[in-house]
Amino acid sequence: MKLSIPHINHSDTQSLKSVMKSGWISTSARIVNEFEKKLSSFCKTKYSIALNSGTSAIHLGLKILGVNKNCEVIVPSITFIATVNPILYLGAKPIIFDVDQYHNLKISDVIQFIKNKTKFKNKRTINKNTKKEIKAIIVAHMWGRACDFSELTKLCKKRNIYIIEDAAEALGSYVNTKRKKLKHCGGMGDIGCLSFNANKIITTGSGGAIITNNRKLYLKAQYLANQAKDDTFNYIHNECGYNYKMNGMAAALGISQLKRIKKKISLRKKIYKRYSLNFKNQKNIKLLSFQEKSKINYWINIISFKMLNFNQTYNLSQKLLKKNIETRRIWRPLNLQTFLKKFETYNIINSNKYYLNSLCIPSDEGLSISDINKISDYIKKYYKIIKLNKNS
């Protein structure tokens, strides 16, 4: 019983076959534009650029916003490593912040930091400590749980700080804005980044996208993603570009998968609801919930064990594995990654605690309610055994 695996059906294979027969399999296939249009329509953004991974999307996003070696970028501590690596590709520095009870960037801390620890000079926000410009903030919608960062938007506009949404895990998740309008994750900041990796809500094998409402950023991203071609006949390139576009086969799979996204989310919602019911009366086992009034894609479920330590949580996961139940720890906080230890952190408390005793539990759309009941029962049973056994 798996965390999350790809589900390829007959329509997917037919779409793939058809694009392969046509020969239009490269990044210049028209079907890539078709996928981009469908994505924009689904996310309700003006533009989308289909790419070969979510990591490329974040890298390109930072690049077109002008992040370089003189800049700093704020990131949440609990996220996949691909949120932070592209900052380093560009020679910039991350500043690592804590997360809130939903594992999302602690917005109140970021506001406090900008107000107290930076100054605004020559239209740039300067970190008083390092004297470097804070160019962007990456807000990640963790495990598909929508992060409402609306309070930050005004301040960032005033301070010329860009907001990039890492919505790699959040296709089909929406924030309920103050105007009571549901906005798709990735469509509220300057740029949103999506991933269609094999474990995601929909997959193109490997793939990603940038979504944005800003035409200038859109044009720049399209240009750089496709080798910065200024004259295709004479092979003139006026900038250093990337080979980041999605290919035709991936786009065909994406279009086919996107047709089923509502069904996929409803299957995952049932799983969340059942876990929620099964753990309702457990004092020491807590299922991660989500921000009220947001609408989420229920990508991955997380449980935390109040009374277990790091090793006991590992032992529990090993016992579950013997019953064919796959679990993993949550993303290791960036501040605990050795190669990132040299970077500035701000007030990190929750993330380190959550990492000790939280596990990602099977959330795959193919799981039945009886599977979920079985998983829940084993979790409760082993939790009790491990808690009673002081030596474990």
Ligand X SMILES: Cc1ncc(COP(=O)(O)O)c(C=O)c1O
Residues that bind ligand X in the complex, under the rule CB under 6 A: 53-55, 79-80, 82-83, 140, 166, 168-169, 195, 197, 208
Count CB atoms within 10 A of the CB of residue 18: 13
Task: Tell me if 106 sits within 8 A of 97, measured CB to CB.
Answer: yes
Q: Residue 272: which region, alpha, beta or left (left: phi > 0; alpha: psi -120 to 50)?
A: alpha
CB of 209 to ligand X, least distance (A): 10
Smaller CB separation from ligand X, 186 or 208: 208
Instruction: Indicate the residue among 36 and 166 with the shorter CB distance to ligand X.
Output: 166
User: In the complex with ligand X, which residue's Cβ is closer, 79 or 313?
Assistant: 79
CB of 149 to ligand X, least distance (A): 15
**CB 42 to ligand X: min, Å:** 17
Smaller CB separation from ligand X, 255 or 379: 255
**Shortest distance, position 263 Cβ to ligand X, whole Å:** 22
Query: CB of residue 274 vs ligand X: minimum separation in angstroms?
Result: 24
- Nearest distance, CB of residue 237 and ligand X, angstroms: 25
CA distance 76 to 140: 7
CB of 54 to ligand X, least distance (A): 3
Cβ proximity to ligand X: between 140 and 152 the closer is 140
The smaller minimum CB distance to ligand X, of residues 208 and 254, is found at 208
Backbone angles phi, psi at 168, to 5 degrees: -55, -35
For the bound state, the minimum distance from the C-beta of residue 3 to ligand X, rounded and expressed in Å, comes to 12
Of 107 and 379, which CB lies nearer to ligand X in the complex structure?
107
Our CB check for ligand X shows the closer of 55 and 317 to be 55
Note whether 43 and 261 are within 8 A (CB). no
Radius of gyration of the chain (CA): 21
**Nearer to ligand X among residue 133 and residue 190 (C-beta):** 190
**Between residues 132 and 145, which has the closer beta carbon with respect to ligand X?**
145
Smallest distance, ligand X to C-beta of residue 168, A: 3
The residue length of the chain stands at 392
In the bound complex, what is the minimum distance in angstroms from residue 371's beta carbon to ligand X?
Answer: 24
CB of 387 to ligand X, least distance (A): 31
Q: What is the 3-state secondary structure (H, E, C) of the chain?
A: CCCCCCCCCHHHHHHHHHHHHHCCCCCCCHHHHHHHHHHHHHHCCCEEEEECCHHHHHHHHHHHCCCCCCEEEEEECCCCHHHCHHHHHCCCEEEEECECCCCCECHHHHHHHHHHHEEEECCEEEECCCCCEEEEEEEECHHHCCCCCHHHHHHHHHCCCEEEEECCCCCCCEEECCCCCEEECCCCCCEEEEECCCCCCCCCCCCEEEEECCHHHHHHHHHHHECCCCECCCCECCCCCCECECCHHHHHHHHHHHCCHHHHHHHHHHHHHHHHHHCCCCCCEEECCCCCCCECCCCCEEEEECCCCHHHHHHHHHHHHHCCCCCEECCCCHHHCHHHCCCCEECCCHHHHHHHHEEEECCCCCCCHHHHHHHHHHHHHHHHHHHHCCCC
User: Which residue's Cβ lies closest to ligand X?
Assistant: 54
Cβ distance to ligand X smaller for residue 172 or 208: 208
Q: CA-CA distance, 17 to 252, in Å (whole number)? A: 9
